C-alpha cells in the first residue's frame, strides 16, 4: 500500500533531481566560454558586512569575469527575501546581476543549495566561490577537502579579495 508520506518523499527526491539536472544542463551550455566557476550566491552576498548585498555579488561576478572565469550562481530559495524582502526566481536574479538566466538557479523551497552547487562544479570541472567549507557534504563530494577547490573571498577596507587560485 502506498502512503501519502511515501509519495511526498518520492516527489521531493524527483524535484531535487530535476533541479540538479537542469543546472547541469545550463552550466554545460557555457562550458567552452571561460574557466567554469560556481558561486554560492547565498554565501557570497554576505561577504561585505553582516547584511546581504546585491552589490557584493555584482562586484564578485565582475572580478571573476575579468580573470577569465565563466560564473554560474546558485541561491537558496530564501535569498530574495534576504536581499529585497520578497521571493526572487532565476530570471529576477539574472536581470539584477546582468547574467543570462541560464547561469542562475534558485533552488526550490525546502531543498539545500549545497549539493547542487557541488554537483555542478564537479560536472563542469570548476571551482566553487564560497566561504563555506561544505563539511556536511564531504562524504559525497570529497573534492571539498582538496586545496583550491573552494575559493574564499571577502572585503577588506572596502576592496574585494579572492583566493590566489581565482
Task: State residue 5's pLDDT score.
Answer: 61
Q: Please name which of 102, 112, 48 lies closest in space to residue 78, comparing C-alpha atoms.
A: 112
β strands within the chain, DSSP E: 35-40, 69-75, 104-106, 127-129, 150-151, 153-156, 159-162
Predicted structure pTM score? 0.81
Domains and CATH numbers, the chain: 4-162 (3.40.50.11980)
81/75 Cα distance (integer angstroms):
11
Q: How many CA atoms lie within 13 A of 49 on its CB side?
A: 8
Task: State residue 140's pLDDT score.
Answer: 97
Task: State residue 45's pLDDT score.
Answer: 98
73/114 Cα distance (integer angstroms):
12
pLDDT of the chain along its 166 residues, tens only?
Answer: 556 665 554 445 445 544 555 555 555 554 456 899 999 999 999 999 989 999 999 999 999 999 999 999 999 999 999 999 999 999 999 999 999 999 999 999 999 999 999 999 999 999 999 999 999 999 999 999 999 999 999 999 999 999 987 6
Task: State residue 31's pLDDT score.
Answer: 47
Amino acid at each position: 500500500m502506498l502512503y501519502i508520506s511515501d509519495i511526498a518523499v518520492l516527489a521531493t527526491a524527483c524535484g531535487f533531481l530535476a533541479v540538479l539536472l537542469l543546472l547541469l544542463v545550463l552550466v554545460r551550455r557555457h562550458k567552452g566560454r571561460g574557466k567554469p566557476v560556481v558561486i554560492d550566491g547565498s554565501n557570497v552576498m554576505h561577504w561585505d558586512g553582516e547584511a546581504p548585498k546585491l552589490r557584493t555579488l555584482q562586484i564578485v561576478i565582475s572580478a571573476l569575469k575579468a580573470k577569465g572565469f565563466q560564473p554560474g550562481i546558485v541561491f537558496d530559495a530564501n535569498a530574495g527575501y534576504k536581499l529585497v524582502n520578497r521571493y526572487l526566481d532565476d530570471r529576477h536574479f539574472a536581470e539584477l546581476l546582468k547574467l543570462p538566466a541560464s547561469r542562475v538557479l534558485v533552488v526550490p523551497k525546502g531543498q539545500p543549495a549545497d549539493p547542487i552547487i557541488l554537483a555542478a562544479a564537479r560536472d563542469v570541472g570548476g571551482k566553487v566561490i564560497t566561504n563555506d567549507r561544505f563539511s556536511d557534504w564531504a562524504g559525497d563530494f570529497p573534492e571539498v577537502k582538496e586545496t583550491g577547490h573552494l575559493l574564499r573571498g571577502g572585503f577588506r577596507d572596502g576592496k574585494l579579495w579572492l583566493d590566489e587560485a581565482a
